[in-house]
Structure 1
Amino acid sequence: MRYRSYNNGGNYFYLGILIFFMFGGFKVLFLFLPLLFSLAPIFLLLFIGSKVLKTIFGNSAINNSIHGSSQERLHYVELMIHLMAHAIKADGVVDNREIQTLFTFFQSRLQFNTNQLRWVQDLIQYSLRKNYPLEIIIQTMNQEFQVHEKQLSIELLIAVIMADEELHENEKVLLDRVAKDLQIDNEFYNQLKSKYIKNTESHYDILGIKPSATTDEIKKAYKNLCKQYHPDKVQHLGNEFKNFADEKIKEINKAYDSIMQKAKA
């Protein structure tokens, strides 16, 4: 799979060509044309040049913000966004609420800085235009990442799809296919659907259990979730993902403590 590149080599080349023509190159081309026609391309070049410079500065800012990040982390973020693009378009409508949910995840949950968010925004628009085949995205994720990274991806996928509070048939088919092809555990997948698709945030939904669950079932669900969201599992992706896992563990602990207190009462 070809990943997004922010190297400005090509842009500097185009800028050099533009400067060449602006400082004499067009004299040869327009030697026999009226002055009016010779000025028009100059204005066009100025316009194009401003666009190229804007792209260069934008790419440089993004490049600086992601400089030093591991290729594994960069690839993971890009693959996630390519996957989310399929979710955003699954119902046939590009809903801004779904885009905002994806953007907010990186802004609030992962606490990306301004330039990193600019990178995310660029990747979202790029992914919506590029439309990489879903099977290629899934194949690459299976090759490059472990179960914990894939579980995080499927959770965000469900959150994005449910941003408009509706689950269309095409979205359901997409979810089931991605969960199956990413080899997501059925119990974990059902827990996520219970939490997001019913649009509830009860402590039972967080643990993926019913209010009638026994103490042993509560403890089992709690232990499984703690293993799945342990911060050490995603530490290699950067502090943002580790912090997200920390918050998930706090949420799980709070839900578990509340349920166990009720069970003892």
Structure 2
Amino acid sequence: MIKWFAAVVGYILFRFPGAILGFLVGSFIEAAMGKNKISFTKTFTQEQQVSPGDFELNLLSLSSIVIKADGSINQTELDYVRQYFVSAYGKDRANATFKTFNEVIKNREISAQRICSFLIPRTRYASRLQILHFLFGIANADGRVSEAEANEIQSIAGFLRVGFSDFESIKAMFFKTADHAYTILEIEKSATDAEVKKAFRTMAKKYHPDKVQHMDEVHIKGAEAKFRAVQKAYEDIQKERGM
């Protein structure tokens, strides 16, 4: 468009030679604008990827915050984290990583907000949901999630910009209450059967393991567990209502 406008202006001013010159100048301007547009788009739409090493260290730091939340370091919870790294990276690398973890867990200056600010632009929303599921898994390793641990994970969820309903959904997978199946599906108990079915489809899509295929095998298995919890919640509601 610019090149033709420039050609017309050139013709008005300098006749045929001006039209040619205007066309060439306009073409150059269009090409430059197109190049800048592509560069701008690539810069602001491509997700920044976090390196495996950085992800490990930040996940270790968040894990240590949860483990220390209730004022004591539980060996069962430590073993849960260790088993995660053995499953994900093998025994040798896990041993090396766990040495770092022992140093991290003694550090009282860890900032969850700073860690989450680093992770937000470098991870997908589905990945951050899986991080929360993993943290709840740590807290639940000793058989129960304490109120202090749940509050700490809720703070981390806020820093990770995870929606409240999504946080409550994952939390309900570890807290068995009378209405936890509805909470997992992010609906009220008063929801109609049609709304229950719609909620199940929505949550099954949100928590589908395919969403975290870019993560390591342990997180994929965690996503599968989360997906099964959604299916179980739906089945429980179906049974309760005779659907």
Structure-2 separation of matches of 1:220 and 1:81: 37
Q: Partner of 1:155: helix, strand, or coil?
A: helix
The within-5 A match list for 1:188-199 is 188-198=166-176
- Identity in percent: 22
Determine whether 1:91 maps to 2:59: no
Determine whether 1:138 maps to 2:122: no
Matched to 1:216, the amino acid is A
Structure-2 separation of matches of 1:236 and 1:166: 28
Matched to 1:73, the amino acid is P
In structure 1, the partner of 2:80 is: 101
Q: Would you say the 8 A contact 2:182–2:233 is kept in 1?
A: yes
Change (3 A) 1:72 1:228: farther
Structure-2 separation of matches of 1:203 and 1:119: 40
Change (3 A) 1:106 1:207: farther
Q: Greater relative contact order: 1 or 2 (C-alpha under 8 angstroms, separation 6 or more)?
A: 1
CA offset digits 1:114-155 (Å, max 9, x no partner): 234324423421321345322221111113112111111122
1:124 to 101, 125, 136: 101
Q: Would you say the 8 A contact 2:154–2:167 is kept in 1?
A: no
TM (norm. structure 2) is 0.63
Q: Would you say the 8 A contact 1:167–1:197 is kept in 2?
A: no
In structure 1, the partner of 2:38 is: none
Change (3 A) 1:83 1:208: same
TM (norm. structure 1) is 0.59
CA offset digits 1:219-254 (Å, max 9, x no partner): 233233223322332222234433443443344335
Determine whether 1:73 maps to 2:57: no
The within-5 A match list for 1:1-265 is 72-106=51-85, 112-131=89-108, 132-164=110-142, 165=144, 167-169=146-148, 171-198=149-176, 207=185, 213-257=191-235, 259-260=237-238, 263-264=241-242
Matched to 1:126, the amino acid is E
Q: Would you say the 8 A contact 1:194–1:208 is kept in 2?
A: no
Structure-2 separation of matches of 1:172 and 1:251: 19
Q: Would you say the 8 A contact 1:229–1:249 is kept in 2?
A: yes
Q: Would you say the 8 A contact 1:149–1:234 is kept in 2?
A: yes
Cα offset for 1:188?
1.1
Cα offset for 1:189?
0.9
Structure-2 separation of matches of 1:195 and 1:245: 12
Q: Partner of 2:173: helix, strand, or coil?
A: helix
Change (3 A) 1:226 1:95: same
- Unmatched 5+ stretches in structure 2: 1-48
Q: Would you say the 8 A contact 1:81–1:127 is kept in 2?
A: yes
- Unmatched 5+ stretches in structure 1: 1-69
Runs of 4+ in 1 over 6 A off after TM superposition: none
Q: Count matched residues.
A: 193
Structure-2 separation of matches of 1:144 and 1:77: 13
Cα offset for 1:259?
3.7
